[in-house]
Structure 1
Amino acid sequence: MTEGASRPSPPAESPYKSVGGLGRIANALRYSLRGLVQAVRVESAFRQELILAAVLVPAAVLLPLPALETVALIAAVMLVLIVELINSSIEAAIDRISFDHHRLSGRAKDLGSAAVFLALVLCAVTWVLVAGPALQALLA
């Protein structure tokens, strides 16, 4: 290459990938909100967990607990929603590829389901261990 000549820029990873700036932030917010709306419309498990969150998050705030314990309760609930969204994404991608049964497709869906189950177990254990004593003290 001669001096002063510029190197050609490498091709973009994806023609749909944004480059940055405020536009990227606005697009990310729009896509995220669209994803949440789709999850509420299409995913019954997400709707059920959202109802659970609508009860548990205010309960966590109202319980007389230290701030970090309140955060732990809310985080456990939010983790369930996050993992459910990822599981729904996996299921949608698998179904987009094919509705035919394939052992790897089944494995991917089962692993996603197992992740949701573990998040629910973590949520339940967190609530029993953290909120349980506070609830017991309120009821005594």
Structure 2
Amino acid sequence: MKPAVTKLTGISHFFAAASYSLGGFRRLIKEAAFRQELLFFAVSLVLLIAVGVTLGELMIAVVLFLALFAVEALNTAIEEVIDRISPEISMVGKHAKDLGSFAVLCMIAACGVFLLFTIGRHLLFG
């Protein structure tokens, strides 16, 4: 018989959830792709501020990059699970990893399109 699991509530739940999120960040920072995306984010913020974007445009960029980080975290989770349950090469595992990678690519493209449009608009039209 399984022991009963005590469900945390209130402030205890908040701190437990924060601890899990910090653990996820610590795992994700080990990924070269995530570190490159963080660099992309930092350079993008500097460029956006340098061309004088509005606060609204800056917030859109931040939200897009947060979405990119979330998709990267989910992609890494998919890779971890596939590697755990199917260490041998399988087409199903390959497809799952490829789909996660495509999702990350879509978010990078979304960030890039927004940056090109916004920076270009400010450089061309002030």
TM-score, normalized by the shorter chain, greater than 0.5: yes
Q: 1:45 aligned to 2:37?
A: no
Provide the aligned length of Structure 1 versus Structure 2. 123
Give 1 or 2: higher helix fraction: 2
RMSD between superposed Cα atoms in Å:
2.0
Q: Which has the higher contact order (CA 8 A, sep 6+)?
A: 2
Q: Percent identity?
A: 31
What TM-score, normalized to structure 1? Answer: 0.77
Partner residue, 2:98: 110
Partner residue, 1:119: 107
SS in 2 for 1:100: coil
Aligned-residue offset at 1:34: 1.4
Q: Which has the larger radius of gyration?
A: 1
> In structure 2, do the counterparts of structure 1 residues 135 and 73 end up closer, same or farther at CA, with 3 Å as the change threshold?
farther
Question: Which ranges in structure 2 are unaligned for 5 or more consecutive residues?
Answer: none
> In structure 2, do the counterparts of structure 1 residues 49 and 102 end up closer, same or farther at CA, with 3 Å as the change threshold?
same
> In structure 2, do the counterparts of structure 1 residues 31 and 58 end up closer, same or farther at CA, with 3 Å as the change threshold?
farther
What TM-score, normalized to structure 2? Answer: 0.85
Cα offsets for 1:15-64 (capped at 9, x unmatched): 37x332111100111111111111112x1111111111122234434542
